Amino acid sequence: MRWPGGGIRPVAEPIFKRMALIGIGLIGSSLARRAREFGDLAGEVVANARSAATLDRVVELGIADRVELDPALAVEGADLVILCAPVGTYADLAAKIAPNLAPGVIVTDVGSTKVSVIRDVGPVLPAHTHFVPAHPLAGTEFSGPDAGFSTLFEGRWTILTPPPGTDERAVARLRLFWERCGAQVAIMNAPHHDRVLAIVSHLPHLLAFTICGTADDLANETRDEVLQFAASGFRDFTRIAASDPVMWRDIFMNNREALLEMLARFTEDAQAMARAVRWGDADYVVDKINRCRSIRKSLIEIKQA
């Protein structure tokens, strides 16, 4: 274990003895780097990935103490297991690791949908484990073990969604873990998390993915000009939309209900806006724009923009 500052021991002892990361992409590798650099998260980091090539890269990067291609072997003896793969893989992963989970282990995840995680993972875990789903609201448009960095979570939110009856000490330990990553921690129930994320994240991504297709379907000549003049607004949509396809596919499929509800509300509102434009209802349009400006102002006031 390297300590930052050349041999000086960190002030705090690690919270966990052995952390197993099931998946080592942007989020997993950022956690691994944080653990290695700061020394106060976990004494040992074990990394698992679907492909041997990814694990070879993890070894080259030197961000884990040990790599394991079999998730069941990766979790052996761990007191913290974090699922860091796309949420669509969780049911399968949970079934594989369940028999090898040590008594008292905290099992958590970093998925963007939480009702589905409780549905897919919760029932499979043995009674002697603690299940505390989590969602760090952090990321970039890049993916894979090379994309991570140890400061990714600093100043960002991590939302914990412990099911009713979850051991409070386990929740407190995981909260401390995320706080040591530099995150602010919020706790809410899973259905509420999924509705909030549907409007602040999943719907904006769906709209961004959609408008790219709409633009791409235009005649050839216009399509070139879409690229040429993208700076006028379209570019920002492509930035939002430049994320991992499998991750987003799984998010959409696993937050289906809340996402479709928010899209239905949005579509009604977009149709009302279209009607106002068609019939020249200027006041309606100005009112919508002013509401947007006041939201923007609130964001700037609370330093979120």
**Which residues within the stretch 193-252 sit at the binding site for a second copy (CB under 8 A)?**
195-197, 199-218, 222, 225-243, 245-246, 248-249, 252
Query: Whole-number minimum distance, CB 102 to a second copy, in Å?
Result: 33
Query: Whole-number minimum distance, CB 254 to a second copy, in Å?
Result: 10
Q: Phi then psi for 144, rounded to 5 degrees?
A: 95, 165
The Cα 26–Cα 21 span in angstroms is 12
Stretch that binds a second copy, among 45-53, 67-75, 144-152, 288-296 (CB under 8 A): 288-296
Question: Which residue lies nearer to a second copy by CB, 7 or 280?
Answer: 280
Question: Which residue lies nearer to a second copy by CB, 60 or 225?
Answer: 225
Per-residue mark of binding to a second copy, 125-164 (x: CB under 8 A):
------------x---x--------------xx-x-----
Query: Whole-number minimum distance, CB 151 to a second copy, in Å?
Result: 15
Query: Whole-number minimum distance, CB 59 to a second copy, in Å?
Result: 28
Query: Whole-number minimum distance, CB 177 to a second copy, in Å?
Result: 20
Burial of residue 73 (CB within 10 Å: 0-12, 13-18, 19+) is middle
Site for a second copy in 249-268 (CB under 8 A): 249, 252-253, 256, 259-260, 262-267
- Residue 271 found at the interface with a second copy (CB under 8 A): yes
- Residue 12 found at the interface with a second copy (CB under 8 A): no
Query: Whole-number minimum distance, CB 283 to a second copy, in Å?
Result: 9
What is the distance, to the nearest Å, from the Cα of residue 1 to the centroid of all Cα atoms in its chain? 27
